[in-house]
Structure 1
Amino acid sequence: MNKSVVVIMTLLTFCGSCGKNEDQNPPETENRYTMPEESEKHEGTWLQWPHQYQYGVAYRNSLDPTWIAMTQALVTSEKVHIIAYNEAEKNRITGLLNSAGIPLTNVDFKIYKTDDVWIRDNGPIYVRDKNGNLVIQDWGFNAWGEKIDDQSGDPIQFTNCNSIPSKIGKDQNIKVVDINSIMINEGGSVEIDGKGTLMACKSSILNNNRNPGMTQAQAEELFSKYLGVTNFIWLDGQAGLELTDQHIDGFARFGNASTIVTMNTDDLLDFDVKQSDINKLFSAKDKNGNPYTFLKVPLTLHNVKKTDGTDLGYKGSYINYYIANNKILVPNYNDPNDAVANGIIQTLYPTRTVVGIDVRNLYENGGMVHCVTQQQPAN
């Protein structure tokens, strides 16, 4: 994301052995949880609908069409769980969906106050415990290292978004594993191949604005324990480059257990990925020591322009797509390379249909489709 930002809040200090309940203090050698890979069957997808209460009506209205398009694509794939700020917003959203002719059979609503739309980063992380039961992990969220402001330029609160996983768990009667006091970790910071490998940029995790003093070994121990991974692909990333301190899911994703979807070297450099990180990415190996296959998707041909014609001054990435049960939601930008990217990504998912989602207005804030969706695996 590219929004400049500032927020004040005390970051809880990492403590690897001071968990507040038994779920935070399992035997150190035991991997108690496993995170399903995104392409596994979903029960549904979670969306936090844009509202006016943080950034104003114009912001909300500019993003509504993207959320309508995502809902339209997803309702024929799986359930769509929409988080609305209040009853008035629920009624407004219902009206938008009805006007678009979208059936509500597969749609349900939860009324929770939210601070923003980025549910990939603040929402529930669904994992399976050692008995195969689905549980929710509630990792700490502090607005990407305490840096974002509201429409008036004042620091925003992010406690509403940070409380979303626990609220969902309570409503669904699903066990919630509280990791807030152990580690700050956004969902967009990590990629999982479903076979024991995690890919991430150190800059968005091993950063004193999230986890002061945490070492790489400590982070790996936590990821092994809570996500069930044993092999790590670490890129350095660039702290301060943009809002997220360079989330991995903007430029490199696991398309499947053997494929990394990314860009060619020139486009990665244009996307501000360091050459040293590009070298590490292309030399990555899975937990068995096998090299990955790389599917390379171009950036947009032109700089992205919002729907009102405003030139954002940078190109758009297609890598931040979302894998649903029978659809692939790919960010699109009204650019000649939309069709090229959609076609390349389609080759990786022959049993799913690629749907282009216009994210031009959302992209002003740095995010794309993957950033604003969160999967709930099937039981």
Structure 2
Amino acid sequence: MRMSRRQTLQAGALAAVGVALSACRAQDGSRPAQGRGNAAPVGATPAGGWRMPDEAHPHELTYMSWPTRQIWKSDIYGVREDVARIARTIAEFEPVVLLANAQDVKAARKACGSGVEVVPIPVDDLWMRDIGPTFVLGPDGIAGVDLNFNGWGNKQIRGRDSRVAQAILDDEHITRIKAPIIGEGGAVEVDGKGTLLATESSLVNGNRNPGTSRDDIEQVLKALFGITTVIWVDGVRGEDITDYHIDALARFSEPGVVVMSTPDEEAPRDVWTGAYDQARKVLDRAVDARGKRLEVVELPEPVDIGRRGDGFLACYVNYYVVNGAVIMPGFGDKKADSHAASIVRDLYPGRKVVQLPVDTLGEGGGGIHCSTQQLPRTT
């Protein structure tokens, strides 16, 4: 049985990923290096003014990953349809590079079409936001932060996924910054102007960073991503495989504006509504890196979505901003879908809003943002 990102399951004895600054073995079967990056040394420390741009910063391309039968079992056909649909849609606005195991390349190319570049790099699963590098820009060009993916705290096999970040960076000849902590790209959200949002439940957690304090993790985040202000919310521990990533709760649409996934007023009280209440209180009184209070915009969650599994991710904030557009989920609740699209359209003037059905992806507890990772443009 595959693991839902909204279910905590025992995955057996998995080896923990260390945080020593050592280089992993290069991947076989990757395409010839494209040389998008500068040739700084592997394992470079985050010095020289690196900063993580916001997602609306122009993209060079989007990275994605082709799901495997080993993880998705009988849901493989549905989830591959979802991933291919996302890839084809993004490719209308910017290039897409999709990683796939060598034996899956042909099927991925057929499903995604000629507008998507499929490259043979070994993968376990589709969650590129978490397994890929998180890119930063600086005076020396571009670098990729490798957050030492360990299967969300050793909850899922990741023999290949733990090497994806380095494989991409090696392939592109981009500087690799190996983080001294363990985390995932979906655990951090930035405004591009010095402010970062994160959940304590995901990063300040013994399954990633045992014995490491919040203050110590905060200092690392500031150094890695060029941040001066970190706003922490509690999140939820142990109820989903990610320990509640911030990208399913709150996103920056621009500096000073946070979009929150908002439960329906009639929703039963549970750990998720409690996490929303706590986060809302924090954000209502928070000050960003510019010393300004935040504006919080509610993005109501859908209500009429039929029978879904307990792990279904029914939130609109897991959208993805691309060049000229915002790609967001639609859940079949016509009223809620239309209302959400209207809100996002107002938040991103000048961008086309495209809604896609991604039901199988949602049953896996993730969404469009979880399945993508942007390579920011350097010029």
TM-score, normalized by the shorter chain, greater than 0.5: yes
- Aligned residue type for 1:162: S
With the length of structure 2 as denominator, give the TM-score of the two structures: 0.86
Q: CA 1:344 to 1:62, structure 2 compared with 1: closer, same or farther past 3 Å?
A: same
In structure 1, list runs of 5 or more residues that go unmatched.
Answer: 99-103, 149-156
Root mean square deviation of aligned Cα? 2.3
Distance 1:367 1:376 in 2: 21
Range with bigger deviation, 88-97 or 135-144: 88-97
Verify the 8 A CA contact 1:201 1:234 in the aligned structure 2: yes
**How far 1:175 moved relative to its partner?**
1.8
Verify the 8 A CA contact 1:300 1:315 in the aligned structure 2: no
Match of 1:133 among 135, 141, 149: 141
**1:53-100 deviations in Å (ceiling 9; x for gaps):** 3332x32201122122212221121110011112x31111222234xx
**How far 1:258 moved relative to its partner?**
1.8
- Is structure 2 residue 237 aligned with structure 1 residue 239? yes
Q: CA 1:218 to 1:25, structure 2 compared with 1: closer, same or farther past 3 Å?
A: farther
Verify the 8 A CA contact 1:146 1:209 in the aligned structure 2: yes
Q: CA 1:227 to 1:62, structure 2 compared with 1: closer, same or farther past 3 Å?
A: same
Aligned to 2:99: 83
**How far 1:298 moved relative to its partner?**
0.8
Distance 1:138 1:273 in 2: 32
Verify the 8 A CA contact 2:311 2:363 in the aligned structure 1: no
Aligned to 1:377: 376
Say how many residue pairs are matched: 351
**How far 1:261 moved relative to its partner?**
0.5
Verify the 8 A CA contact 1:302 1:315 in the aligned structure 2: no
Map 1:1-80 → 2, pairs under 5 A: 1-7=5-11, 8-12=13-17, 19-20=21-22, 32-56=49-73, 58-80=74-96
Distance 1:334 1:137 in 2: 37
Match of 2:246 among 240, 245, 248: 248
- Is structure 2 residue 111 aligned with structure 1 residue 96? yes
Distance 2:52 2:371 in 1: 19
Aligned to 1:326: 324
**How far 1:31 moved relative to its partner?**
6.4
**How far 1:13 moved relative to its partner?**
6.0
**How far 1:32 moved relative to its partner?**
4.0
Verify the 8 A CA contact 1:194 1:257 in the aligned structure 2: yes
Distance 2:282 2:299 in 1: 18
SS of 2:82's equivalent in the other structure is helix
SS of 2:288's equivalent in the other structure is coil
Distance 1:23 1:317 in 2: 37
In structure 2, list runs of 5 or more residues that go unmatched.
Answer: 24-40
SS of 1:117's equivalent in the other structure is coil
- Is structure 2 residue 123 aligned with structure 1 residue 122? no
Distance 2:16 2:255 in 1: 35
SS of 1:60's equivalent in the other structure is helix
Distance 1:257 1:117 in 2: 29
Verify the 8 A CA contact 1:31 1:228 in the aligned structure 2: no
Q: CA 1:54 to 1:301, structure 2 compared with 1: closer, same or farther past 3 Å?
A: closer
**How far 1:304 moved relative to its partner?**
5.0
